[in-house]
């Protein structure tokens, strides 16, 4: 069994599913890759572009809070605390407090279609950018989960005292937030990005690749991403890293997969 901190791959089937074409990645596959991208952000200096990444449960917390808030059901308070903890940099291994970063990447699953997109919360612009690998085809449509996120984020940033923070960024001076805290985030769909060519089940590798490009401060290319190569690359990196970590579980010199 390989210990990837946020998930444990108990069988070779975990990697087999990751590598096979037209096979949907589950939340563990996505969470493991994004965990190591979060760790990479810890190496940045305060002056550099800094990001943090949510996990696959973030959408669940948002949905539960949004759907139950008016009824004031007990579960809403538990999910509310989870959201605030994530904004504070808690609850997610290697997370950052949001007031210390420029952008937040969040994987969103469109559950009934087993479909992933990457959402990027651009805090200084009060904008949500959506990276969707089938946007140019009829598979995609406006995701209700993203609209919920756009509406509910201002409330929870305000509860967190986000605009009062001045470490690294004085948020009260940011034009997009001045006297607009209660307004929803704008939503922007990115069109000139690499797309899947067949079906919709290669969305996981594309979400991982989008996040990796952005984490390196690069623009997502408008073509040239090969789903098969992405699957092989991420599978090989995690398998090699998992083996090395299993052999030296307490060693500190094992480099993260990259």
Please report which confidence band the pLDDT of residue 72 belongs to, taking 50, 70 and 90 as the band edges: low
User: For residues 53 and 230, what is the distance between their CA atoms, to the nearest angstrom?
Assistant: 20
**Cα distances (Å, whole numbers) of residue 41 to 62, 87, 102, 144:** 24, 16, 11, 29
Closest CA to 86 of 182, 176, 156: 156
> Has residue 97 got a pLDDT over 70?
yes
Query: Do residues 34 and 55 make contact, with C-beta atoms less than 8 angstroms apart?
Result: yes
Burial of 13 by CB count in 10 Å (0-12 exposed, 13-18 middle, 19+ buried)?
A: exposed
Q: How far apart are the first and last CA of the chain?
A: 21
For the chain, which domains are there? 2-247 (3.40.395.10)
Percentage of residues in the chain having pLDDT higher than 90? 50
When mean pLDDT is compared across 37-46, 50-59, 152-161, the lowest value belongs to 37-46
Closest CA to 160 of 99, 70, 92, 75: 99
Closest CA to 125 of 147, 144, 103, 140: 103
Please report which confidence band the pLDDT of residue 194 belongs to, taking 50, 70 and 90 as the band edges: very high
What is the number of alpha carbons within 13 Å of residue 76 lying toward its C-beta?
Answer: 11
Query: Do residues 69 and 76 make contact, with C-beta atoms less than 8 angstroms apart?
Result: yes
Q: Which of 68-72, 193-197, 244-248 has the highest mean pLDDT?
A: 193-197
Q: What are phi and psi of 48, to 5 degrees?
A: -80, 165
Q: What is the pTM of this model?
A: 0.89
Query: Do residues 135 and 195 make contact, with C-beta atoms less than 8 angstroms apart?
Result: yes
User: For residues 208 and 232, what is the distance between their CA atoms, to the nearest angstrom?
Assistant: 13
Q: What is the pLDDT of residues 108-164, one digit of tens each?
A: 987 666 789 999 999 999 999 999 998 866 555 557 778 888 988 998 899 889 999
Radius of gyration of the chain (CA): 18
> Has residue 196 got a pLDDT over 60?
yes
């Amino acid at each position: 069994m390989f210990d990837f901190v946020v998930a444990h791959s108990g069988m070779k089937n975990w990697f087999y599913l990751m590598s096979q074409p037209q096979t949907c990645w589950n939340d563990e596959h996505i969470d493991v890759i994004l965990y190591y991208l979060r760790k990479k952000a810890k190496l940045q200096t305060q002056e550099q572009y800094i990001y943090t990444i949510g996990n696959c449960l973030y959408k669940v917390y948002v949905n539960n809070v949004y759907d139950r808030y008016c009824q004031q059901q007990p579960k809403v308070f538990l999910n509310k605390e989870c959201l605030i903890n994530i904004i504070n940099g808690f609850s997610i291994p290697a997370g950052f407090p949001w007031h210390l970063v420029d952008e937040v990447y969040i994987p969103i699953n469109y559950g009934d279609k087993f479909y992933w997109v990457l959402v990027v919360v651009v805090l200084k612009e009060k904008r949500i950018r959506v990276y969707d690998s089938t946007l140019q085809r009829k598979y995609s449509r406006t995701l209700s989960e993203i609209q919920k996120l756009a509406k509910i984020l201002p409330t929870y940033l305000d509860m967190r005292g986000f605009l009062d923070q001045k470490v690294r960024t004085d948020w009260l001076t940011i034009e997009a937030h001045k006297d607009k805290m209660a307004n929803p985030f704008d939503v922007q769909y990115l069109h000139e990005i690499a797309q899947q060519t067949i079906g919709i089940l290669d969305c996981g590798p594309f979400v991982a690749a989008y996040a990796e490009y952005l984490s390196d401060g690069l623009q997502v290319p408008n073509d040239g991403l090969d789903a098969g190569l992405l699957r092989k690359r991420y599978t090989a990196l995690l398998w090699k890293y998992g083996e090395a970590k299993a052999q030296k579980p307490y060693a500190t010199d094992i480099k993260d997969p990259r």
